[in-house]
Amino acid sequence: MDDPFPIEKCSGRVRGAVLAEFQGRCPTIREVASISDAQWLTVPNIGPTTLEEIRRYIGEAPVEEPLSNLPTMEDGELLSRLNRVQRELSLIASAIRTKVAAATYKREQRK
């Protein structure tokens, strides 16, 4: 894991992205492996295919948090939260429509 990442074997896209992420230096395999998939996907030119190539050179799947450790909610609580978010979204959309209508009215009055 402390060997240099085999950047010379990578495609140009992966090579460029890895070098950019590590400010132009060739990182170790451990350093590349320490970056989560979610973090890699925020790097320019890294998508699912290039991420798959990076993981292939690391030689092992990244350690991801198991789903069993995530908090769970009952269906009723989920529905309650969904309804609350939908109401809030509706209020925001209504406020935006009101402001747009007022701005349009003011603009028409100036003509």
Span 35-92, pLDDT tens digits: 888 888 888 888 888 888 888 888 754 444 455 555 677 888 888 888 888 998 899 9
| Cβ atoms 15, 53 nearer than 8 A | no
- How far apart are alpha carbons 91 and 93 in whole angstroms? 5
Helix 48-58 / helix 12-21 crossing angle, nearest 10 deg:
80
pLDDT given for residue 79 in this prediction = 82
Cite the DSSP H helix spans in the chain: 12-21, 29-33, 37-40, 48-58, 75-110
pTM of the model: 0.47
| Cβ atoms 35, 21 nearer than 8 A | yes
The phi and psi torsions of 106 (rounded to 5 degrees) equal: -60, -40
pLDDT given for residue 61 in this prediction = 41
pLDDT top residue among 59 and 109? 109
Domain ranges of the chain: 7-58, 72-110
pLDDT given for residue 68 in this prediction = 57
